[in-house]
Amino acid sequence: MYDAGKIIIGLLIFAGFMTFPLWYNGGKAAPIPEPKVLTKGKCVEDTAYMRAAHMQLLNEWRDQALRDGNREYVNHRGEKVWISLQNTCMKCHSNKDEFCDRCHTYAEVKPYCWDCHYTPKESKKWASTEGNS
């Protein structure tokens, strides 16, 4: 056999690279995010449904409010909810950074909604809600 040493070293380096993701975090997965809920009571829909399908629900809301001109959503419990990302969702979940963002950072999703929609807290970065008009 020729150059056995070199081949073995090469294989070791290769194996090292291949398993990099496994040992990089010391074998632990990134901690599961814990979105902080500020309000008591219930979300627009059940928590499990919201966790799984809030993006679809928001799309539905957007189309119903803007395209069908109907801003009243009736949830599975039969309650009427006023459709608004800023004035409904974000009134309860006003801690966007500790709630929406925590999950989204973990899941590496960057909803582009915040280019236009905002919470009063976040808007302080680029405007002032108290400033003179």
Partner 1 sequence: MGIDRRKFLKIAGVSSLVTLGGGASLLALNSPAGASHGEVEHHAEGEEVKAPEKGVKRWGMVIDMRKCSEHKDCTKCIDACHYVHNVPHFENRKEEVKWIWKEEYEKAFTDIGTLHKYNPKEIVEEKFLCLCNHCDHPPCVRVCPTKATFRRPDGIVAMDYHRCIGCRFCMAACPYGSRSFNWKDPRLGLRGRKLNPEFPTRMRGVVEKCNFCVERLAQGLKPACVEACPDGVLVFGDLNDPDSEIRKVLAENYTVRRKPELGTAPSVFYII
Binding mask 80-99 for partner 1 (x = CB under 8 A): ----xxxx------------
Distance between CA atoms of 15 and 9, rounded to whole angstroms?
A: 10
Q: Which does 127 bind (CB under 5 to 8 A by kind): partner 1, ligand HEC, none?
A: partner 1
Neighbours of 58 (CB within 10 A): 15
Q: Among 36, 66, 79, 109, which residue interacts with partner 1 (rule: CB under 8 A)?
A: 66
**Cβ-contact 103, 37 below 8 angstroms:** no
Measured from the CB of residue 106, what is the shortest distance to ligand HEC in angstroms?
Answer: 8
Tell me the CA distances in angstroms from 125 to 40, 118, 128, 131, one per residue in order: 28, 11, 8, 13
- Token pair 């909604």 is found at 113
* In the complex, least distance from residue 28 CB atom to ligand HEC, rounded to whole angstroms: 20
| Chain contacts with partner 1 (rule: CB under 8 A) | 62, 66-67, 69, 71, 84-87, 115-120, 123, 126-133
